[in-house]
Amino acid sequence: MIILILKMLRQFTLGIRLQKLSVKEKLILKTKKQKTNFKNVELCDIEKIVSIEADCHISPWSKTNFLDSISAGNLFQVLKNDELITGYYIASFASDECELLNITVSKHLHRQGFGKTMISHLIKKCIERKTSNLFLEVRRSNKNAILLYEKKGFNEVGIRPNYYKTSDGNEDAILMALSL
Ligand SMILES: CC(C)(COP(=O)(O)OP(=O)(O)OC[C@H]1O[C@@H](n2cnc3c(N)ncnc32)[C@H](O)[C@@H]1OP(=O)(O)O)[C@@H](O)C(=O)NCCC(=O)NCCS
């Protein structure tokens, strides 16, 4: 009975989210498995990425941050459906370690599995590059992201107290790691 109620609740919240989607975004949801694929970032993607970033983060990266990341030679992958950007992630590699620097799914497309798809893609890239450990940092309050990382096998390995700014103070960064 409880499971049935939870399923109905999820359908209801999904329905509300669907009402906010553009026609093109609805189409993505229908065809996401077949049509979405990863591309290396291109300069023409940056304006849209900055706009998605501003919608999704408490302290969004600036255009300069993204451009610097390209100059630094980081892995910068964009998940696209045709030309529409669904999400993106950025990771830096050093020696046999990798750090996930940014992962974002376009706001109205959350909870459709794109976050999991991007982490799986990054793990594949790490394995190809013979990386031993994948690290990331996440705000303690970002429960959705933490659940996603745990689901993909990450464990908490440390805390940076008061690392991030909030509207009324600071909050901890949780360090998470995945051994490959
Ligand atoms: C964090 C983020 C990338 C997750 O992407 P997503 O596409 O929404 O996540 P997924 O649909 O792949 O969900 C994966 C799992 O995470 C958890 N999760 C994600 N969003 C959730 C939510 N709103 N409520 C509960 N659990 C959630 C669930 O365990 C989910 O698995 P399930 O759907 O099988 O139950 C996305 O929410 C986002 O872009 N947030 C803003 C930017 C951000 O916080 N980035 C991370 C910075 S460290």
Handedness of CA 179, 136, 163, 105 (dihedral sign): negative
Instruction: Quote the crossing angle between the two packed helices 63-71 and 46-56, to the nearest 10°.
Output: 120
For residue 89, indicate whether it is catalytic: no
The mean pLDDT of 37-66, rounded to a whole number, is 97
Q: 110-138 pLDDT, tens per residue?
A: 999 999 999 999 999 999 999 999 999 99
Is residue 9 very low, low, confident or very high in pLDDT (cuts 50, 70, 90)? low
Q: Any idea which of 22-26, 38-42, 114-118, 156-160 has the lowest mean pLDDT?
A: 22-26
Residue 111 CA, ligand 1 centroid: distance in Å: 5
The pLDDT assigned to 83 comes to 85
Ligand 1 and 17: CB distance under 6 A: no
Rounded distance between C-alpha atoms, residue 128 and residue 138, angstroms: 25
Q: Which one of the listed residues 149, 156, 164, 171 is annotated catalytic?
A: 149
Encode burial over 89-113: b for 16+ CB neighbours within 10 A, e otherwise: bbbbbeeeebbbbbbbbbebbeebe
The pLDDT assigned to 26 comes to 64
Ligand 1 and 36: CB distance under 6 A: no
pLDDT higher than threshold 70 for residue 66: yes
Ligand 1 and 124: CB distance under 6 A: no
Is residue 11 very low, low, confident or very high in pLDDT (cuts 50, 70, 90)? low
Rounded distance between C-alpha atoms, residue 18 and residue 12, angstroms: 10
Ligand 1 and 101: CB distance under 6 A: no
pLDDT higher than threshold 80 for residue 22: no
Ligand 1 and 14: CB distance under 6 A: no
The pLDDT assigned to 5 comes to 58
The mean pLDDT of 14-43, rounded to a whole number, is 68
Q: Which atom of ligand 1 is nearest to the CA of 112?
A: 11
Give all domains of the chain, ordered by start, each with its CATH number: 35-179 (3.40.630.30)
Cβ neighbours of 64 (radius 10 Å): 9
pLDDT higher than threshold 90 for residue 96: yes
Report residue 20: phi and psi, to 5°. Answer: -85, -5
Q: Which atom of ligand 1 is nearest to the CA of 136?
A: 48
